[in-house]
């Protein structure tokens, strides 16, 4: 048992039946409606129309005012859950992952088991000891620029240029066109150029993720999962130069690592990155001077600090993983009491990202948050953590990629790719949103699926960079 409280034998406050109902309906239900593992466009639109994400933040603010510091707990469907309400407590949970706060919660194991039962995220501590370092090595998690950045940039350039040809023809950019180009690019980056048009593999993953939305309520489709994982292994065996599959193939793996089952999570993460990138395009186009600022740094690719900060702001304003879950593997003690082992601890990211009691920038576009962190910590911290992807402390908990020792190992690959895409899109085109935002108070929800832009070639075009991206230290990226 860790930490201390004035009365460590007393449990942390338990919500009343009414507050429990309000928390379940107001905070957890919107995520279920939207889809936890793969988004349901109709559900996302419904939640946005109802303003449910804004109401979720307000509900946790109300609980915080009512109960003070420390977590609050409640039971639901035989499970004990606890919301953390203070940034310092969120930091503690993330810093003390995987023990005593395991990322392999019951809910997560049930959901992700549909397509990657041996993934690092849902592994035992012994399995995780081999699988997490493997992910870190392949994704080069401590480097902002992957050694395959040149190949990634080539895929971005070719697929986004093809998309822009379509945009020039129809005069607009919608989600369907963007998503098609995005997945062609992602399959090339992760699996190799030969996978560009292999829609079957990502369609299989989509169907498995749809099952994952129902977690343990849906039976596993073992044959479909087997076909999908065999296809992933096929591309690892091909080890196409420049792809992440090549890095998987040449990275030593200890017994039990299950390399092929680490790859689906990367594809999963790139799906969320698509939403963040499309929303980031909206942020750029809706804020005066932002596009020019993005164009001015385009020739410095892959170092695109402002564009990168814009993607991080998209993730802060509209988190793609709103519920960060950990399961206590032992009893824990907090400032206001104790929690039992097997309690599922919930960090609701929108609450911390949009808590206007603590920050006057909560509801506005604030890329300087990330630029300041990048300048302050340009070398990374003493743990090797790359700079600018999280703010964890006594007063802030901004966690677009989770945080602490369980932080997403692919965050820098995702940010690199998203930044290159965004920079390429705006380098030579002007986009205007069909549905402009109220920039003085950005909405709590924003559906990428209904976002649409009109587009035309720009008269203010900056030089569009050729694919000359280099790896760490200025050396040419591996192709």
Q: How far is CA 107 from the centre of its chain?
A: 18
Query: Does a structural domain hold residue 8?
Result: no
- Residue 440 contacts by C-beta under 8 Å, 6 or more apart in sequence? 364
Assigned domain for 266 exists? yes
DSSP codes of every residue in 338-373: EE-TT-EEEEEHHHHHT-TTT-TTTTS--THHHHHH
Write out the H or E segment, with its range, that includes residue 307: helix 305-317
pLDDT score recorded for residue 382: 35
Is position 211 within any domain?
yes
Whether 51 is covered by a domain: the verdict is yes
CA distance 246 to 190: 9
CA 327 to chain centre: 20
What is the spatial distance between Cα 36 and Cα 15, in angstroms, rounded to a whole number? 24
Instruction: State the CB neighbour count (10 A cutoff) for residue 449.
Output: 18
The C-alpha atoms of residue 68 and residue 74 are separated, in whole angstroms, by 16
Beta carbons of 333 and 5 less than 8 angstroms apart = yes
C-alpha closest to that of 74 among 9, 29, 16: 16
Label residues 42-79 b or e (16+ Cβ within 10 Å = b).
ebbebbbeeebbbbbbbbbbebbeebeebbbbbeeeee
- Whole-angstrom Cα distance, residue 420 to residue 331? 45
List the chain pLDDT tens, one digit each, 479 residues: 555 455 567 999 999 999 999 999 999 999 999 999 999 999 999 999 999 999 999 999 999 999 998 999 999 988 999 999 999 999 999 999 999 999 999 999 999 999 999 999 999 999 999 999 999 999 999 999 999 999 999 999 999 999 999 999 999 999 999 999 999 999 999 999 999 999 999 999 999 999 999 999 999 999 999 999 999 999 999 999 999 999 999 999 999 999 999 999 999 999 999 999 999 999 999 999 999 999 999 988 888 999 999 999 999 999 999 999 999 999 999 999 999 999 999 999 999 999 999 999 999 999 999 998 766 554 443 333 445 688 888 889 999 999 998 999 999 999 999 999 999 999 999 999 999 999 999 999 999 999 999 999 998 655 555 544 433 333 333 23
**Residue 180 parent element (H or E):** helix 175-191
What pLDDT score does 462 carry? 52
Please check whether residue 314 lies inside any domain of the structure. Answer: yes
Quick one: which of 35, 56, 57 has its CA closest to 45?
35
* Euclidean distance between CA atoms 385 and 362, whole angstroms: 25
How many other CB atoms sit within 10 Å of the CB of residue 198?
A: 18
Task: Give the domain range for residue 427.
Answer: 17-473
> Cα–Cα distance between 477 and 277 in angstroms, integer?
23
Nearest C-alpha neighbor of 134 from the set 53, 35, 247: 247
Tell me if 9 is assigned to some domain: no
Cβ pair 70, 10 in contact under 8 A: no
For residue 100, whether the previous peptide bond is cis, meaning omega lies within 30 degrees of 0, is: yes
Beta strands in 355-477 (DSSP E): 391-392, 397-398, 429-433, 452-457
pTM, full prediction? 0.92
Give the domain CATH number at 175.
1.10.630.10
Tokens matching residue 259 = 């390399």
C-alpha to C-alpha distances, 248 to 136, 139, 259, 303, nearest whole angstrom: 11, 9, 7, 25
In this structure, is residue 2 part of a structural domain? Answer: no
Q: Number of folded domains in the chain?
A: 1
The answer to whether position 284 is within a domain reads yes
Residues 6+ apart with CB under 8 A from 75: 20, 81
Distance, CA of 296 to CA of 290 (rounded, Å) = 10
């Amino acid at each position: 048992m860790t930490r201390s409280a004035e009365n460590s034998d007393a449990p942390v406050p338990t919500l009343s039946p009414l507050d429990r109902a309000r928390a379940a309906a107001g905070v957890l239900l919107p995520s279920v409606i939207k889809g936890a593992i793969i988004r349901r466009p109709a559900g996302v639109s419904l939640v946005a129309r109802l303003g449910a994400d804004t109401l979720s933040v307000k509900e946790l603010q109300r609980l915080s005012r009512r109960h003070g510091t420390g977590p609050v707990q409640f039971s639901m469907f035989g499970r004990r859950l606890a919301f953390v309400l203070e940034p310092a407590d969120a930091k503690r949970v993330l810093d003390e992952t995987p023990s005593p706060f395991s990322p392999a919660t019951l809910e997560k194991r049930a959901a992700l088991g549909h397509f990657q039962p041996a993934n690092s995220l849902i592994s035992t501590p012994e399995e995780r000891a081999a699988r997490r370092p493997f992910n870190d090595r392949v994704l080069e998690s401590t480097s902002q620029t992957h050694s395959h950045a040149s190949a990634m940039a080539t895929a971005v350039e070719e697929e986004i240029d093809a998309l822009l040809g379509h945009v020039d023809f129809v005069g607009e950019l919608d989600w369907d066109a963007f998503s098609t180009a995005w997945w062609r690019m992602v399959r090339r980056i992760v699996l190799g150029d030969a996978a560009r048009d292999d829609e079957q593999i990502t369609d299989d993953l989509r169907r498995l993720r749809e099952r994952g939305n129902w977690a343990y309520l849906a039976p596993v489709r073992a044959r479909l999962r087997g076909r999908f994982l065999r296809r992933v292994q096929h591309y690892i065996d091909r080890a196409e130069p420049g792809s992440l599959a090549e890095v998987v193939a040449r990275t030593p793996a200890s017994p039990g690592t299950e390399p092929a089952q680490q790859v689906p999570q990367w594809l999963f993460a790139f799906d969320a990155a698509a939403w963040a990138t499309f929303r980031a395009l909206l942020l750029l186009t809706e804020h005066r001077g932002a596009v020019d600022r993005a164009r001015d740094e385009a020739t410095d690719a892959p170092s695109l600090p402002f564009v990168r900060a814009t993607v991080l702001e998209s993730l802060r304003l509209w988190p793609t993983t709103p519920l960060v879950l950990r399961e206590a593997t032992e009893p824990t003690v907090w400032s206001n009491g104790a929690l039992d082992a097997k309690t599922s601890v919930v960090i609701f990211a929108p609450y911390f990202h949009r808590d206007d009691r603590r920050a006057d920038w909560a509801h506005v576009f604030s890329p300087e948050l990330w630029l300041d962190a990048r300048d302050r910590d340009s070398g990374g911290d003493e743990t090797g953590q790359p700079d600018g992807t999280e703010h964890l402390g006594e007063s802030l908990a901004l966690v677009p990629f989770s945080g602490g020792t369980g932080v997403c190992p692919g965050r820098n690959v995702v940010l690199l790719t998203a930044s290159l895409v965004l920079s390429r899109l705006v380098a030579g085109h002007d986009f205007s949103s069909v549905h402009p935002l109220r920039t003085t108070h950005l909405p709590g929800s924003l559906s990428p699926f209904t976002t649409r832009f009109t587009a035309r070639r720009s008269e203010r075009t900056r030089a569009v960079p050729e694919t000359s991206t280099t790896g760490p230290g200025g050396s040419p990226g591996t192709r």
